[in-house]
């Protein structure tokens, strides 16, 4: 089996340019790896399509675009025309998309080759990918551990080296937490950076498409490719900057903050130790690192849940058995159609969140819970903006602990919520945030560093991330070579 | 003591924008079912609302003519409820920040003016049109996402007449603002009426009557409903809050559903649409596009001497009234008579609109001026109407080509009359002997000689003058 996909994108591109390899070779290697892996990371793969696309590309001159011909995996809640888009739900088990998401337009424009749709928590609701109708994916670092979620499949396939790049979605850490658990780089950009057109909505005011890769540079390259203003998403914007522009520039007068909550007792000691190690590396390189208090930072996870579930209860109302997707056969009435379609079409966690969300928006509750959550969200955002007046970036762990055993969170809906507590602030405030691997724990499971930037400051995040990447020299190949 | 009626009205009007409010699908009425529907209208997974700012401009115009305060910073809300005609199972509407608040419409009740107060006006999207049969229902997504405005009055009307007058006036204003077709029969205007009766100052139990198919039926429904409620109260029974519909055949109201304790629509701000900030410039630009409102036009028509009955006919036909706006400087009585009379019948007969014909503004202006100056008479106009409407020739050419050019040259007229008189002494003496029909015979001869080149009324006048002086 060839191992071209283990090379960097720059190296692959050189080989493609020289004609030493072809996109078909890359696609074949990718599918060999898929067929040899048992991670349950894909829901559907598209080998015939991928080979056909590869063949088309071979008739073209290789352009100066290092994404050309690169296989990519897409989370199964992002629409790709003529491919199924299941959201890991029985509700959409047979749903074939008739349109491309905004970000997919650009994936195709760059001649990347979509090889499959990845496993995830049902409708992105979960942090272990176990709520998937198709069963949970497995963590490449340890088969019995969770990949995290909800973009668990995307994290797993990048981690194991099936594809160099993948797209996920991040409503409350769903790109960053599995990236942390699987030892890869995952970025949730500023809210509105990537069009949400074609991303199946969970919590509309929190959702963002995210990019997942093996290293920082390639992450920035993929973000460059798919960030655009899209009139089909009124919250999207365009700033036209090159996210790689600050990479390798000296970190002069850089100031970094670590919120005290991010290194408090809720954090696993091994994780905390690695974070403190990063602090030391930075300080050794004359970067000021302060431990700061940010008001509300420890209290907003529950508010995040109120907003996400409230919005989800409304967003998922469209799955009613009338227009598409699963439809309960021969219902007795319209109400019966609604009830049975949703009873049998949705899994338990989705139904739980819809029920709680509906309750939170009911009557006076909307004022007590949802509107109140929106108010405090504004305050939280303001507190972060204040911090960014003094500091370039905020860092901390991505997750309080490393990947844990599959099945651990089942039947305890509250446990999974612990996975949100360090990552959802970025969604609440719309801030860009990246997770990158900084080492392994004693069980050889990856530990992730989270870097949160001010609005639109992805380039600054990449600058620090790239610097740290060079210092910690995390060996991502370890997982592929057998630990 | 008698029961007093209290009436409040909610009107939904479809705005006639080119595209739908949250998708680029066309918004026109009468297309083949489900041809104006895209992934947004059908609530596909992953789609988001787009925004058609033409809707804002239309809504601002409506606010202006209804004297509403315009909310400059506003947002949209989701109204969540499950129904088959509601593709997303939520409707995007304005719950917290309606675009218009606290306005009024002035009506005239037997010469007395009354202001009907409007509580608010908000923007929302229409649902699918559904057609029900025994075993199934059909949905037409063409209507899903058509922009609507909903106009809600205070419970301030006291009679069916007031309600009818209010609706007529509202319809007229929205029509003239150019924002809606206001066709109840096509569903582009829908009226829901709240009726309660009471003997005290406290309002009685509110009963809603929906789906009323015409403005006059609103009046009938109100009177029927008030009487029905009175009969129930007089029996000593209690009323309950309910929704009824007006039945066209039986001319009665029929129970649809009893209202349960406050519908729970789980409103919350629509996260996919950013807040809208209306700038003063945007508002002014929209208002500046408004044409003149009916009452202003009525004043001009009155001043020009158009009969009251014709004034109302013109106002009721906005196309004619709009056409007249181009001709306020010429004889409006003649112009309106032409438009309401022969031109209208020509258009109706041929199923045309005025802009489909060859009648240019210049031609119409010429025509009216020639009639006004008596250069042509009504008979000639009727003779040349088809040529005016169907050829590009100007009026003079048409008259000339048809040999209808009437001379107002006194010399020509005098010589023709003198010639006829000198050759027909017998007839003249008959006339002198009291045979009045002889004058007609002379006129015939004169007109024959003049071959349509002379004006009959002028000729007649001149002939009588000459005969009587002989």
User: Which pLDDT score, from 0 to 100, does residue B350 have?
Assistant: 92
What six digits make up the tokens of B9?
């009205």
Residues in chain A within 8 Å Cβ distance of B80: 313-314, 317, 361
Q: How confident is the model at residue A372 (pLDDT cuts 50, 70, 90)?
A: very high
Of B355-364, B425-434, B452-461, give the range with the top mean pLDDT: B355-364
Q: Do A363 and B262 lie within an 8 Å CB cutoff?
A: yes
If 0-12 CB within 10 Å is exposed, 13-18 middle and 19+ buried, where does residue B23 land? buried
Residue B384: CB partners within 8 Å, gap ≥ 6? B376, B395, B398, B399, B402, B404
For residue B152, give every residue at least 6 positions away whose Cβ sits within 8 Å of its Cβ, in sequence order, or none.
B8, B9, B10, B118, B119, B120, B121
Predicted confidence at residue B222, as pLDDT, reads 96
| pTM of the complete model | 0.90
> What is the tens place of the pLDDT at every residue in A96-116?
999 999 999 999 999 999 999
Strand partners of residue B189: B13
CA distance B213 to B219: 11
From the list A33, A75, A188, A457, the catalytic residue is A75
- Take residue B307 and report the two structure tokens written for it: 């009969």
**B79 to chain A: nearest residue by CA?**
A314
pLDDT at A483 over 50: no
Q: How far apart are CA B129 and CA B142, in angstroms?
A: 8
Q: What is the pLDDT of residues B292-309, one digit of tens each?
A: 999 999 999 999 999 999
pLDDT for A7 = 95
Q: Check if A476 is active-site.
A: no
Nearest to B93 by CA among B61, B55, B130, B47: B55
pLDDT of A418 over the 90 cut: no
Q: How confident is the model at residue B457 (pLDDT cuts 50, 70, 90)?
A: confident
Per residue in A189-223, pLDDT tens?
Answer: 999 999 999 999 999 999 999 999 999 999 999 99
Tell me the chain A residues in contact with residue B266 when contact means C-beta distances shorter than 8 Å. Answer: 313-314, 358, 361-362, 366
Query: Which ranges in A300-396 belong to alpha helices (H)?
Result: 301-315, 334-345, 348-361, 365, 372-390
Where are the domains positioned within chain B? Answer: 4-281, 291-401, 410-469
The DSSP line for A33-59 is: HHHH--S--EEEE-HHHHHHHHHHHHT
- What is the structure's pLDDT at A295? 94
Between vectors from CA A459 to CA A454 and to CA A463, what angle results, nearest 5°? 105
- Pick from B342, B1, B463, B397: which is nearest to B197 by CA? B1
| Percent of chain A clearing pLDDT 70 (strictly above) | 97
C-alpha span between A21 and A35 (Å, rounded): 21
Q: How many CB atoms lie within 10 A of CB A44?
A: 14
Q: Is the pLDDT of residue B434 over 90?
A: no
In the CATH scheme, what architecture does the domain B410-469 have? Orthogonal Bundle (1.10)
- CB contacts, 8 Å: A233 with chain B: 48, 272
Interface probe for B, chosen from A309, A317, A331, A377 (most Cβ of B below 10 Å), is: A317
Task: Give the percent of chain B with pLDDT over 90.
Answer: 70
The CA distance from B148 to B125, in Å, is 6
Domain boundaries, chain A: 4-252+392-481
**Range name among A33-42, A473-482, B330-339 with the lowest pLDDT average:** A473-482
DSSP annotation of B156 reads -
Q: What integer pLDDT is reported at residue B433 of this predicted model?
A: 83
The C-alpha angle with vertex B311 and arms to B306 and B312, in degrees rounded to 5, equals 160
Chain B residues with CB under 8 Å of A318 CB are 43, 45, 87-89
In this complex, the residue of B45, B78, B267 whose CB is nearest that of residue A92 is B45
Query: Contact, A73 vs A42, CB < 8 A?
Result: yes
Element containing residue B59 per DSSP (H, E): helix B54-65
Assess A359–B contact: CB distance below 8 Å, yes or no.
no
> Please, which pLDDT band fits residue B326 given cuts at 50, 70 and 90?
very high
Report the mean per-residue pLDDT for chain B.
91
Is A150 assigned a catalytic role? yes
pLDDT of amino acid B291: 95
Per residue in A140-176, pLDDT tens? Answer: 999 999 999 999 999 999 999 999 999 999 999 999 9
Task: Give the burial class of A273: count Cβ atoms within 10 A of its Cβ; 0-12 exposed, 13-18 middle, 19 or more buried.
Answer: middle
Question: DSSP 3-state assignment of A324?
Answer: coil
Look at residue B68 in the predicted model and tell me its pLDDT: 98
Residue with the larger pLDDT of the pair A225 and B241? A225
Cβ of residue B95 closer than 8 Å to a chain A Cβ: no
Q: How far apart, in whole angstroms, are the C-alpha atoms of residue B119 and residue B155?
A: 9
How far is the alpha carbon of B145 from chain A, nearest alpha carbon, in Å? Answer: 15
- B272–A235 CB contact, under 8 Å: yes
C-beta atoms of A200 and B46 within 8 A: yes
Higher pLDDT, B142 or A411: B142
- Say if CB B228 and CB B256 are below 8 A apart: no
Give φ, ψ of B411 to 5 degrees.
-65, -45
Could you give the CA distance from residue A224 to residue A290 in angstroms, rounded to a whole number?
Answer: 31
pLDDT tens readout for residues B199-238: 998 899 999 999 898 999 999 999 999 999 999 999 999 9
**Poorest-pLDDT segment among B6-10, B41-45, B229-233, B431-435:** B431-435
Token pair, residue B218, equals 């609103």
Contact between A79 and A72 under an 8 Å Cβ cutoff? The reply is no
- Report the distance separating Cα B259 and Cα B155, nearest Å: 19
Cα gap B266→B174, rounded to integer Å: 31
Under CATH, what is the fold of the domain A4-252+392-481? Amidase signature (AS) enzymes (3.90.1300)
What burial class does residue A110 get, using C-beta atoms within 10 Å of its C-beta: 0-12 exposed, 13-18 middle, 19+ buried?
buried
The average confidence (pLDDT) of chain A is 95
Q: Is B48 on the interface with A (CB under 8 A)?
A: yes
Say if residues A51 and A57 touch (Cβ distance below 8 Å): no
The pLDDT score that the predictor gives to residue B460 is 84
Q: What band does B182 get if pLDDT is binned at 50, 70 and 90?
A: very high
Q: How far apart are CA A56 and CA A50, in angstroms?
A: 10
Whether residue A363 and residue B264 make contact (CB cut-off 8 A), yes or no, is yes
Structure tokens at B450: 């003049």
The answer on pLDDT for A410 being more than 70 is: no
Is the bond preceding A150 in cis, omega lying within 30 degrees of 0?
Answer: yes
- pLDDT over 60 (residue A482): no
Confidence of residue B261 (pLDDT cuts 50, 70, 90): low
């Amino acid at each position: 089996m060839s191992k071209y996909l283990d090379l960097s994108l720059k190296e692959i591109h050189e080989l493609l340019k020289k004609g030493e390899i072809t996109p078909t070779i890359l696609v074949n290697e990718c599918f060999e790896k898929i067929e040899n892996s048992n991670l349950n990371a894909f829901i559907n793969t598209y080998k015939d399509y991928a080979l056909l696309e590869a063949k088309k590309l071979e008739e073209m001159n290789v352009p100066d675009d290092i994404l050309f011909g690169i296989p990519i995996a897409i989370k199964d809640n992002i629409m790709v025309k003529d491919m199924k888009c299941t959201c890991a739900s029985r509700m959409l088990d047979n749903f074939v998309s008739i349109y491309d998401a905004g970000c997919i337009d650009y994936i195709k424009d760059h001649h990347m080759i979509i090889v499959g749709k990845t496993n995830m928590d049902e409708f992105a609701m979960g942090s272990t990918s176990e709520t998937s109708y198709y069963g949970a994916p497995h963590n490449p670092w340890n088969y019995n551990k969770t990949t995290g979620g909800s973009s668990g499949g995307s994290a797993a396939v990048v981690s194991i080296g099936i594809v160099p790049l993948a797209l996920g979605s991040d409503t409350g850490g769903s790109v960053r937490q599995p990236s942390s658990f699987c030892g890869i780089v995952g970025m949730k950009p500023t809210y509105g950076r990537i069009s949400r057109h074609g991303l199946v909505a969970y919590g509309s005011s929190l959702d963002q498409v995210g990019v997942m890769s093996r290293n920082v540079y390639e992450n920035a390259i993929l973000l460059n490719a798919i960030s655009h203003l899209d009139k089909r998403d009124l919250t999207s914007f365009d700033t036209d900057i090159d996210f790689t522009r600050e990479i390798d520039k000296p970190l002069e007068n850089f100031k970094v903050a670590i919120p005290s909550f991010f290194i408090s007792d809720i954090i696993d000691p091994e994780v905390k130790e690695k974070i403190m190690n990063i602090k030391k590396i930075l300080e050794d390189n004359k970067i000021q690192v302060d431990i700061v208090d940010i008001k509300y930072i420890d209290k907003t996870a529950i508010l995040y849940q109120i907003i996400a579930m409230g919005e989800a209860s409304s967003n998922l109302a469209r799955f009613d058995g009338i227009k598409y997707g699963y439809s309960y056969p021969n219902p007795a009435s319209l109400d019966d159609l609604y009830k049975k379609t949703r009873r049998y079409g949705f899994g338990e966690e989705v139904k739980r969140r819809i029920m709680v969300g509906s309750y939170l928006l009911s009557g006076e509750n909307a004022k007590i819970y949802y509107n109140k959550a929106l108010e405090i969200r504004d305050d939280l955002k303001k507190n972060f903006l204040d911090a960014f007046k003094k500091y370039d970036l905020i860092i901390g762990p991505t997750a309080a602990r490393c990947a844990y055993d599959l099945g651990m969170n089942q039947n305890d809906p509250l446990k999974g919520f612990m996975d949100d507590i360090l990552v959802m602030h970025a969604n609440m405030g719309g801030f860009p945030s990246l997770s990158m691997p900084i080492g392994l724990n004693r069980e050889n499971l990856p530990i992730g560093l989270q870097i949160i930037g001010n609005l639109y400051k992805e380039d600054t995040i990449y600058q620090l991330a790239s610097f740290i990447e060079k210092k910690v020299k995390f060996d991502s190949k370890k997982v592929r070579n057998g630990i | 003591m008698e029961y007093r009626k209290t009436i409040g009205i909610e009107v939904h009007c479809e705005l006639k924008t080119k595209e739908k409010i949250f998708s680029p699908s066309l918004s026109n009425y009468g297309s083949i079912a489900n041809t104006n529907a895209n992934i947004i209208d059908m609530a596909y997974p992953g789609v988001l609302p787009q925004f058609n700012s033409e809707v804002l401009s239309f809504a601002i115009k409506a606010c202006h003519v209804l004297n509403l305060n315009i909310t400059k910073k506003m947002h949209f809300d989701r109204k969540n409820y499950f129904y088959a005609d509601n593709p997303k199972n939520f409707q995007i509407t304005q719950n917290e920040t309606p675009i218009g608040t606290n306005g009024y419409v002035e009506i005239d009740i037997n010469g007395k003016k009354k202001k009907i107060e409007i509580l608010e006006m908000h923007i929302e999207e229409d649902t699918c049109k559904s057609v029900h049969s025994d075993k199934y229902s059909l949905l037409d997504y063409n209507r899903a996402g058509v922009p609507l405005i909903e106009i809600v009055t205070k419970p301030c009307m006291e009679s069916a007449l007031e309600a009818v007058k209010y609706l007529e006036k509202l319809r007229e204003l929205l029509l003239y603002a150019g924002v809606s077709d206001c066709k109840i029969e096509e569903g582009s205007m829908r009226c829901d009426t709240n009726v309660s009766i009471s003997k005290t100052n406290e309002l009685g139990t509110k009963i809603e009557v929906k789906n009323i198919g015409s403005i006059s039926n609103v009046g009938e429904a109100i009177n029927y409903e008030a009487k029905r409620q009175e009969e129930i109260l007089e029996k000593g029974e209690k009323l309950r809050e309910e929704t009824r519909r007006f039945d066209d055949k039986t001319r009665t109201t029929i129970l649809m559903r009893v209202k349960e304790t406050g519908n729970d629509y789980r409103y919350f701000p629509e996260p996919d649409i950013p807040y809208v900030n209306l700038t003063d410039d945007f508002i002014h630009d929209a208002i500046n596009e408004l044409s003149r409102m009916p009452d202003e036009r009525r004043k001009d028509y009155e001043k020009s001497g158009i009969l009251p009955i014709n004034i109302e006919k013109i106002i009721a036909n906005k196309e004619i009234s709009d056409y007249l706006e181009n001709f306020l400087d010429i004889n409006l009585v003649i112009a309106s008579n032409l438009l309401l009379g022969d031109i209208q019948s020509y258009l109706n007969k041929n199923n045309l609109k005025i802009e489909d014909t060859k009648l240019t503004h210049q031609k119409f202006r010429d025509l009216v001026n020639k009639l006004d100056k008596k250069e042509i008479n009504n008979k000639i106009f009727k003779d040349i109407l088809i040529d005016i409407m169907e050829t590009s020739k100007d009026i003079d050419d048409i008259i000339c080509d048809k040999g209808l050019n009437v001379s107002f040259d006194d010399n020509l007229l005098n010589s023709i009359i003198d010639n006829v008189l000198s050759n027909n002494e017998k007839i003249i003496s008959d006339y002198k002997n009291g045979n009045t029909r002889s004058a007609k015979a002379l006129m015939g001869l004169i007109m024959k000689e003049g071959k349509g080149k002379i004006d009959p009324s002028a000729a007649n006048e001149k002939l009588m003058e000459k005969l009587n002086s002989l």
